[in-house]
Amino acid sequence: GNSVTQMEGPVTLSEEAFLTINCTYTATGYPSLFWYVQYPGEGLQLLLKATKADDKGSNKGFEATYRKETTSFHLEKGSVQVSDSAVYFCALSPYQGAQKLVFGQGTRLTINP
């Protein structure tokens, strides 16, 4: 079946620290991969995506590379800010067409000034 596993949270970092949130997946076929962010009291916002192997998604200083050989899509940012505090969800879409998203359990990130 299709599943996504994210690193356990919560994660607490100091401002300007380097961030990595691990995400690995299991899927049949060739899924599309996504990172969504949920700020307190809000819905989900798309952060970045990648639709095929070796693609790198990037947005707002965040990056993630679609690694088929390790079935991973780790989220990284070189220097985090307090405003990055949120819950981050890794997700996959099992097919290239619009289908249901399968989400990881989410990782709560807190950045201290």
Partner 1 sequence: EAGVTQSPTHLIKTRGQQVTLRCSPISGHTSVYWYQQALGLGLQFLLWYDEGEERNRGNFPPRFSGRQFPNYSSELNVNALELEDSALYLCASSLRLAVTDTQYFGPGTRLTVL
Task: Give the number of other Cβ atoms within 10 Å of residue 67's Cβ.
Answer: 17
Q: Which helix (H) or strand (E) holds 86?
A: strand 86-93
69 binds partner 1 (CB under 8 A): no
Under the binding rule (CB under 8 A), the answer on residue 1 touching partner 1 is no
Smallest gap, in angstroms, from Cβ of residue 43 to partner 1?
4
Which one of 1, 29, 98, 113 is in contact with partner 1 (CB under 8 A)?
A: 98
CA gap 69, 89 in Å, rounded: 21
Q: Which stretch binds partner 1 (CB under 8 A): 12-20, 22-30, 70-78, 90-98?
A: 90-98
Q: Is 15 in contact with 112 (CB distance < 8 Å)?
A: yes
Number of residues that bind partner 1 (CB under 8 A): 24
Please give the structure tokens belonging to residue 2: 């299709």
Task: Give the separation between CA 103 and CA 43, rounded to whole angstroms.
Answer: 14
**Footprint of partner 1 on this chain (CB under 8 A)?**
32, 34, 36, 42-46, 49, 51, 89, 91, 93, 96-106
